[in-house]
Structure 1
Amino acid sequence: MKAGAEFDDFLNRIGRQRRYSKYTLRNYSKSVLEWYDWLGSNEMFSGDIFSVPRIFAKNYIAYLSQKVSRTTLHNKISALRTFHRFLREAKGAKENPFASLPLPKMRKDLPVFLNPIQVSKLLSAPWEYFKEGKIKHFEAVRDALCLEFLYGAGLRISELCSLKFSDIDFSRATARVLGKGQKIRLCPFGKNALELLKIWKEEYCAGRAQGDFILFCESGMQIYPRLIQRNLKNYLVEAGLPANITPHKLRHSFATHLVDEGVDLRSLQEMLGHSSLSTTQIYTHLSTAHLKREHGKLF
């Protein structure tokens, strides 16, 4: 079953009016198109996307439950709820078949993070690569700056890629970040990041305007998440650290270390850009788990 004009209208709505990120748009688009395909393969479906029976939505959830993780399932159904809510509000659909349907409970695993010694090794890895002649000075400065912002300021990878010179206050060492839901927050960053940023700007950013992206490839193109992820893997190997560490786990490391140092949750919530304090509270559980492990070494 092919998507019609209503699908394009939906993407236009969430892209322009709600200003969802490119990443979210891509995932929502994929989820909705998969839903269309599944409906099209069902001989009992009438073909009317505006009046999908609730039982079809229940069956689809059961189908996805056997194929994807619970996190992915929740994300896909969230997209479909949003899509059918749009059809009801803007296109006159009778109901949202996914409204209020129960989903399997999410597992609340504690985030994976690096300890301070491991972080120190990782932050020095680009310079080790440079000394060994594996990368140029341009890459060493840029990648070291990426790591400093991901860990030292707790930025999401999409936020890092979108940083512009106009977002930086050099005198206060803060970055103005546009986060999820188009929410703006101020993120302090450390002395190392500030010094690297000054070197980067002086040596490699001549002629770049205030509205230009800070981080870029040698071609001058804006840096992209996949490049950062790939380089991080290389540096983890260089530092002898777990290869499953991702940019987002550096953000977890940032948050965990702040909690360990006594930063209050409200301040941490602001720095991370969490809309709900309950999201931030997981780091108190993480800190407690760390204390128990340390206690267990002695008793």
Structure 2
Amino acid sequence: MQDTFFSRRLPESINRIILRFPDEVQEFFLEMISAERSKQTIANYAYDFALFFDYLDTKGSDLHQIDSRMIKSFFRHIENGYERKVWVKVRKKDPASGFIHEEWVERTHYRENTRAGKRRKQASLRSLFRFLVKNRVLDRDPMEEYEDATLRSRNQTKVPVFLTRDEALRLIEAVASYHQKKKRSASWTEYRDRAILLLFLNTGMRVSELVGLNMNSIQLDGGILRVVVLGKGGKERMLKLNQTARSALEAYMKQRPRDGVPKEHQDALFLNKNRTRMSRKAVYEALRKYAREASLPPKAANISPHKLRHTLATLLLSNGENLRVVQEILGHSSIQTTQIYTHVINSEKDEALDRLGWS
């Protein structure tokens, strides 16, 4: 692929995906960039569209042949999971010269198709087709005719999964116990992982927000250490770090490698073992490793950064914090999103009353 830059504001891996789309669809992404949508949101749209247009290719269809039956067929095709193709830059050593060079390779990952994932793909396609109709690329919106009775009949608000305070403490302690079992002195990655866990539990930031942090995102103001988080829609929020999180972050920053970091990654706060900016996938893998070490219960078997976000919100509300304050900490644009955590508190009250017995 000769031209790998659709937009210099996006990662090259996402540029490579968008450049495969029809020109009319690329215009949709230009609108998203103009609207200052977050890089992660744009990436999610790109992944969803790539899946859809790859399916169209297998059917020998193009943009103007899409109808509701084809959309229904697509969602049935990915119902039980699908393969996602991503571009990854790898470093390879030339066996003859010994020189290290970088090259892009396409890799395939199998993905489960969750209910939330289905909704997101539907929302992505709705946005695209509305844009195409508005700009007179298409005469009608095929999504208006599409119905998914399964999702409609089973649409329920699920109570967020979260850790108790004791479970969260066990997860933090697992970082040290895991590395002790490896029978080695503390490495910089141990300091990094402890800082990451405490940042999640102290700020409730999203994983995309965490991996996007730079060295200058950490600011000292009058003896108070704060982290500047760039959230959805380019909105910034500044959050104070408590003493535990502050100590862990400062310890990591002292240990963070300075040598061997590629120029384009020198500003990144969290680095991986290759000394490049840490990826979302690497963060997920680290969390699951420590969840196994902590022997957390089944509900936490698939621990994720978002469940740690749920944990902070639930603990804050359990402690009687104001809903508006929790909304601002999490960076929710609507308080209705934050209110889902009140269901958790109410369910805890229900369970407490049930345990009274009286029989």
**TM-score, scaled to structure 2:** 0.72
Structure-2 change in CA distance of 1:90 and 1:262 (3 Å)? same
Structure-2 change in CA distance of 1:91 and 1:51 (3 Å)? farther
Task: Please name the residue that 1:129 is paired with.
Answer: 178
Deviation at 1:241, TM superposition (A): 0.8
Q: Is the 8 A contact 2:191 2:255 kept in 1?
A: no
Deviations 1:69-122 (A, max 9, x none): 432221111111121122233454323322486553432111111111111111
Deviation at 1:42, TM superposition (A): 6.1
Q: Is the 8 A contact 2:72 2:146 kept in 1?
A: no
Structure showing the higher helix proportion among its residues: 1
Task: Please name the residue that 1:245 is paired with.
Answer: 303
C-alpha distance in structure 2 between counterparts of 1:158 and 1:24, whole Å: 10
Task: Please name the residue that 1:176 is paired with.
Answer: 228
Deviations 1:127-186 (A, max 9, x none): 112333356421111000000011111111111111122222233332111112222112
Q: Is the 8 A contact 1:51 1:93 kept in 2?
A: no
CA RMSD for the aligned pairs?
Answer: 3.0
Matched, 1:31 2:48: yes
C-alpha distance in structure 2 between counterparts of 1:64 and 1:182, whole Å: 35
C-alpha distance in structure 2 between counterparts of 1:262 and 1:196, whole Å: 27
Deviation at 1:259, TM superposition (A): 0.4
Task: Please name the residue that 1:234 is paired with.
Answer: 289
C-alpha distance in structure 2 between counterparts of 1:295 and 1:51, whole Å: 58
Task: Please name the residue that 2:342 is paired with.
Answer: 284
C-alpha distance in structure 1 between counterparts of 2:205 and 2:125, whole Å: 28
Which of these residues, 52, 75, 82, is aligned with residue 120 of structure 2?
Answer: 75
Structure-2 change in CA distance of 1:11 and 1:268 (3 Å)? same
C-alpha distance in structure 1 between counterparts of 2:158 and 2:203, whole Å: 23
Q: Is the 8 A contact 1:174 1:188 kept in 2?
A: yes
Percent identity at matched positions? 28
Task: Please name the residue that 1:225 is paired with.
Answer: 280
Which of these residues, 139, 144, 156, is aligned with residue 107 of structure 1?
Answer: 156
Counterpart AA for 1:144: R
Structure-2 change in CA distance of 1:65 and 1:33 (3 Å)? closer
Q: Is the 8 A contact 2:160 2:310 kept in 1?
A: yes
Task: Please name the residue that 1:164 is paired with.
Answer: 214
Structure-2 change in CA distance of 1:38 and 1:132 (3 Å)? closer
C-alpha distance in structure 2 between counterparts of 1:220 and 1:180, whole Å: 26
Deviation at 1:41, TM superposition (A): 6.0
Matched, 1:298 2:356: yes
Deviation at 1:34, TM superposition (A): 3.7
Structure-2 change in CA distance of 1:145 and 1:62 (3 Å)? closer
Deviations 1:14-53 (A, max 9, x none): 3x3234444433432333244335556669xxx5624744
Which has the higher relative contact order, 1 or 2, with Cα contacts under 8 A spaced 6 or more apart?
A: 1
C-alpha distance in structure 2 between counterparts of 1:259 and 1:266, whole Å: 10
Matched ranges for 1:198-213 at <5 A: 198-204=250-256, 212-213=267-268
Which of these residues, 247, 252, 255, is aligned with residue 313 of structure 2?
Answer: 255
Give the 3-state SS of the residue equivalent to 1:219 in structure 2: coil
Structure-2 change in CA distance of 1:192 and 1:62 (3 Å)? closer
Give the 3-state SS of the residue equivalent to 2:118 in structure 1: helix
Number of residue-to-residue matches in the alignment: 293
Deviation at 1:7, TM superposition (A): 2.9
Deviation at 1:61, TM superposition (A): 7.7
Matched, 1:17 2:34: yes
Structure showing the higher strand proportion among its residues: 2
Task: Please name the residue that 1:188 is paired with.
Answer: 240
Q: Is the 8 A contact 2:208 2:280 kept in 1?
A: yes
Give the 3-state SS of the residue equivalent to 1:279 in structure 2: helix
Give the 3-state SS of the residue equivalent to 1:148 in structure 2: helix
Deviations 1:215-239 (A, max 9, x none): 1124321111111111111111111
Structure-2 change in CA distance of 1:87 and 1:116 (3 Å)? same
Q: Is the 8 A contact 2:132 2:138 kept in 1?
A: yes
Counterpart AA for 2:334: S
C-alpha distance in structure 1 between counterparts of 2:124 and 2:28, whole Å: 11
C-alpha distance in structure 2 between counterparts of 1:244 and 1:62, whole Å: 25
